[in-house]
A and B are shown apart, each in its own frame.
Chain A
Amino acid sequence: MDLTVLRWFPQIPLSILYRSAILLGGSRTMTIPAPAATAVEAPVVKPPETVGRSPGQLMWLRFRRDRTGVVSAIVVIFFFLVALLAPVISWAYGKDPYVLYGQDIPGLLNDYGYPVGANGGISSEFWFGIEPSLGRDVFTQLVYGIRTSLLIAVVATVFTTMIGIVMGIAAGYSGGKTDYLIGRLIDTMLSFPSVLFIIAFMPVVENLFVKSNEETPIWLRAVTLVIVLTLFGWAGLARLLRGQVLSLREREFVEAARVTGASPARIVFKELLPNLWTPILIQATLLLPALVTSEAALSFLGVGMPEAIPDWGRMFLRGTEVYRDDITYLIFPGAALLIFVIAFNLLGDSVRDAFDPKLKR
C-alpha cells in the first residue's frame, strides 16, 4: 500500500485523503533510495564500460522507457503550453475571450440566447461553439480559462509544498514540544471539513483586505483562492515528511554529520533535504491536479473567480445552467478537464515508478 489513494482520487477532500493514505501506512512504504546504493545499480544496459550515473539521470532513463508516462507527460506539457501561449493562440485564431460575438453579429444566437447553429454553434469560425446568451467564443474561453486555473493551482501547489516542507521538517527534526504542537495542528487541520471550510473561509479572508461593502478586485480573489487552498492543503504533506524525517534522523549518516559538528542548518539542507526530494516531487505531482479540480469546484460553486475573467471551473457553472438547451457548452471544458486529470494521474504513477522501481504498483 502506498499513496495510491491520493492519485486515484483527486477530488477535493484532499486533507482527508492524505489522512487515510497515511493511516494506511503510506509513509512507511515510501522507501527513499540512498544515492550511493542506486548508483551501484547503474549499469542497466550493459555499456562497454561502467558509466557512473546520478540518481537523476537514472530516473530520467527509467522514465523514458515508460510509454504511458511519456504520453501523459506530453499531454500535461500540452496543457501547460496552452496556458502559457494563450495570447498567441487567440491571436492566431483571431478571437478573444471577452468579445460578445453572439451579440455583435446577428444570426449567431436565437431569440432565447442559444446558438442557432447545431451543436452549440460549432463552425469553422467558432471551433468549440458560442457561449449561450453572452455569445462569447468557447474556444478562447477555454484556453484562457485553463490559463487562469493552472496559474492559481501552480502557485497554490508551490506554497502548499513549501509550507508542508518547512512544517514537516521542523516537526520531525526538532522533536519535543515543537513536534507535539505541529503534530496537533496537523491533526486539527485534517479533521476540518475541508471543502466546506474553504468555502466558508473565502469571505473571511477577503474581509481581511477589503471592507464588506466594497467591490472585491479580481487579483484579490485569485490571492484569496491561493491562500485558502494552501491553508487547507499543507497538513497532509507535512505529516508525510515529518514521518520521513523521524526515521531519517536516526540514520547513521545524519548521526555522523552531527558527530563531526555539522550545524542543524547543514544537517537539514545537506543531509535531510536531498533524501526528501523524491516524496516531495511525487506529492507535488499529485497535488497539482487535485488543486486544479478544487479550484474548478470552487468556481462551480460560485465562490471562485468572478465573471469576465475566463475560468475553467466557472464554465461548468454556466454549463450546468444551460445544459438542457446547449449541452455542447459543457462538453468541451469537461472533456478537457477529464483528459488533464487522467494524464496527470498517470504521470504521477510514472514519476513514482521512475524514482523508485522497487515500489510495487
Chain B
Amino acid sequence: MIRFITRRTLGAAVTLVIIAAVTFFLFFAVPADPARLACGKVCPPELLEQARHNLGLDQPLFAQFLAWLTGIFTGRDYEGLGRCPAPCLGFSFVNRAPVWETILDRLPLTVSLTIGAATVFFTFGVATGVVAALRQGRPLDKIASVSSLIGASVQIYFAGTLALYYLVYKNHILRQPKYVPFTEDPVGWLSGLALPWVVLAIIFTANYTRMTRSTMVEQLGEDYVRTARAKGMPGRSVVMRFALRGTMIPIVTIFGVDLGTLIGGAIITEQTFGLQGLGQLSIRAVTNSDLPMLMATVLVAAGAIVVFNIIVDVMYAVIDPRVRLS
C-alpha cells in the first residue's frame, strides 16, 4: 500500500512539473512582450523595466523556468519590490505582493465552498441514485430521471441568480452569500454559504444520481449479488454491503475529479454569488493581465486535480481489493 502511494505520488510530481513547464512556456514564450503582460495594462515605464529585469528576460528561457521552479522551494528576491518567501509562485506586479499570500488568503473560501457542496451533492446524489435503481421503472425512478435531466441542463449563472432573487432578495429566506471563517463563526459560515452549496448541489447531484442509478442497476444483476440473495441475506444488507460497494468505484472517480475541479476554482459559482475565492482571483488576473498570478492559480488548480487523482487511486484500492493485489 505504502509503495503504491509512493509510486503514485512520484508520478503526480512529474505530471505537476510538466504542467508547470507547459504553463510557463506557453505564457512566457508565446506573447509578444511578457514583461508588459506581467506588469499589467497600466504600466509606468520604470516598472516595466523592473519587470523585465525581474523576469530575467535577458536570460535563456530554460534558465528562467529553472529560476521560477527553484523559487517555489527557496523563495526569490525581487529587487526594489521585496522578498517572496519560500513557496514563491511568483510576484504579482499588480498587487505588489507575492502571489502565494493572496492565494492563501482566498483558499479557505474555495475549500469551504467545495467541501460543503460536495457533502450535499455526494450524499444526496448517491441516495437518490440508489433509490431510483431499487425502484426501477416506478414513479420515483421517473421523477429522479426527469429532475436529473433538468438539473444537468441548468446553468449555474441562471439557476444561481434566480435563487438569489427569489430566496434572498425578494423573500429573505436565505442570507446574501458571504464567507465567514468557520473558526470565527460556525453558524455564520453555514448560513453564509448555504445558497451556493444548494445551487451547486442541484447541478452536480444530477450527475451522481444518473451514475449511481445505472451502475447500481448493473451491480444488482451481478452474480455475487444473486449469490448473496440466494444464501438468504436480507435485502438491505445485499444493497448496502455488496451492491453499493461495487457502485462506489465509478462514483469515487467522478467525485475525485469534481473535487479537484471545484478546489481549482468554482469560477462560475464564485462569480454568480460574488464570492472572492480562487476562481475570482484568476478571473481578475486575466482582466488585469496579471501573468504571475494567473500562472500560480493555474498551477494550484492543476495541483488540486492531480492530488485528488491520487486520492481516487488510493480509494480504489480501499474499495476494491483486486486493485491492491495487481
* A301 close to B261 (CB less than 8 A): no
Contact B286 A341, beta carbon cutoff 8 Å: no
A337 at the interface (CB under 8 A from B): yes
CB-CB under 8 A for A301 and B268, given A8-B206, A199-B282, A200-B282: yes
Q: In the bound complex, how far is the Cα of B302 from the Cα of A1, in angstroms?
A: 28
CA distance A151 to B31 in the complex (A): 27
Chain B interface, number of residues (Cβ within 8 angstroms): 64
Q: Does A297 touch B at the CB level, under 8 Å? A: yes
Residues of B within 8 A of A201 (CB): 26
Q: Is the CB of B152 within 8 A of A16?
A: no
Q: How far is the CB of A130 from chain B (nearest CB, A)?
A: 19
B258 to chain A, nearest CB (A): 8
Can you name the residue of chain B whose Cβ is closest to the Cβ of A319?
B161
Q: Does A5 count as interface, using CB distance less than 8 angstroms?
A: yes
Within 8 A of B (CB), among A322-343: 323-324, 327, 330-331, 334, 337-338, 341-342
Contacts of A1-37 to chain B: CB distance below 8 A: 1, 4-5, 8-13, 16, 19-20, 23-24
The smallest beta-carbon distance between B322 and chain A, in angstroms, is 15
Contact A212 B33 (CB under 8 A): yes
Bound-complex Cα distance A9 to B155 (A) = 10
Contact between B215 and A199 (Cβ–Cβ < 8 Å)? Answer: no
CB of A196 within 8 A of CB of B282, answer yes
**Per-residue B-contact encoding for A189-210, CB less than 8 Å = 1, 0 else:** 0011101110111111101100
Give A302 to B265 CA distance when docked, in angstroms: 16
Is residue B172 contacting chain A, with contact meaning CB distance below 8 A? Answer: no
A351 to B306, CA, bound (A): 35
B302, A193: Cβ atoms closer than 8 Å: yes
Are A199 and B267 touching (Cβ within 8 A)?
yes
Instruction: Evaluate contact between A320 and B272: CB separation under 8 angstroms.
Output: yes
Which residues of A in the span 175-201 have a Cβ within 8 Å of any Cβ on B?
Answer: 188, 191-193, 195-197, 199-201
Interface 0/1 of B137-173, CB less than 8 Å to A: 0000000000011101111111001101100010000
In the complex, chain B residues 222-264 whose Cβ is within 8 Å of any chain A Cβ: 250, 253-254, 257, 260-261, 264
Residues of chain B lying within 8 A (CB to CB) of residue A109: none
Answer yes or no: B30 CB below 8 A from chain A CBs: yes
Instruction: Determine if A316 is an interface residue (Cβ-Cβ < 8 Å).
Output: yes
Number of A-B residue pairs, CB cutoff 8 Å, is 169
Q: How far is the CA of A338 from the CA of B215 in the complex (A)?
A: 27
Contact of B114 with A by CB under 8 A: no
Bound-state CA distance A76–B203 (Å) is 22
Interface 1/0s, chain B 296-326, versus A by CB < 8 A?
A: 0110011011100100000000000000000
Cβ contact within 8 Å between B286 and A199 = yes
Distance in angstroms between the alpha carbons of A24 and B218 in the assembled complex = 13
* CA of A337 to CA of B150, assembled, Å: 12
Contact A320 B31 (CB under 8 A): no
The answer to whether the Cβ of B41 comes within 8 Å of any Cβ in the partner chain is: yes
CA distance A302 to B148 in the complex (A): 29
Closest A residue to B34 by CB, please name it: A207
Most buried by A among B157, B279, B304: B157
Residues of B near A141 (CB, < 8 A) are none
> Which residues of B are found within 8 Å of A337, using beta-carbon distances?
155, 158
> How far does the Cβ of A358 sit from chain B's closest Cβ, in whole Å?
16
A323 contacts B161, C-beta separation under 8 Å: yes
A211 beta carbon closer than 8 Å to chain B: yes
B157 near A320 with CB under 8 A, answer yes
In the bound complex, do residue A212 and residue B36 qualify as a contact, i.e. CB atoms below 8 Å apart?
yes
Tell me whether B282 and A338 are in contact (CB under 8 A).
Answer: no
Contact in complex: A193, B305 (CB < 8 Å): yes
**What's the least CB distance linking B223 to chain A, in Å?**
18
Minimum C-beta distance from A340 to chain B (A): 9
**Complex CA–CA separation, A330 to B260 (angstroms):** 30
Task: Check if A9 sits within 8 Å of B164, measured CB to CB.
Answer: no
CA distance A196 to B26 in the complex (A): 14
- A213 CA to B289 CA, complexed, in Å: 12
Contacting residues, chain B, for A334 (C-beta < 8 A)? 155, 158, 162
Q: Which residues of chain B from 168 to 219 have a CB within 8 Å of any chain A CB?
A: 169, 203, 206-207, 210-211, 214-215, 218
The answer on a CB contact under 8 Å between B282 and A203 is no
Question: Given A188-B19, A191-B306, A204-B31: A341 and B153 within 8 A (CB)?
Answer: yes
Q: Which chain A positions have C-beta within 8 A of B264?
A: 193, 196
Indicate which residue in B41, B161, B283, B302 contacts A302 across the interface (CB closer than 8 Å).
B283
Given A192-B19, A337-B155, A345-B153, A297 and B286 touching (CB < 8 A)? Answer: no
A8 touches B162 (CB 8 A): no
Interface residue ranges of B25-51 to A (CB < 8 Å): 26-27, 30-33, 36-37, 41
The 9 closest A-B pairs by CB, nearest first: A193-B301, A334-B158, A207-B31, A341-B153, A193-B264, A8-B152, A342-B153, A20-B254, A9-B207
Given contacts A10-B153, A199-B267, A302-B287, 7 further A-B contacts (CB under 8 A): A4-B211, A20-B254, A213-B41, A316-B158, A334-B158, A342-B149, A342-B150
A-B contact pairs, 16 of them (CB 8 A): A13-B261, A16-B261, A24-B250, A191-B19, A191-B306, A193-B261, A193-B305, A199-B267, A200-B294, A201-B26, A203-B286, A323-B161, A323-B164, A330-B162, A331-B162, A338-B154
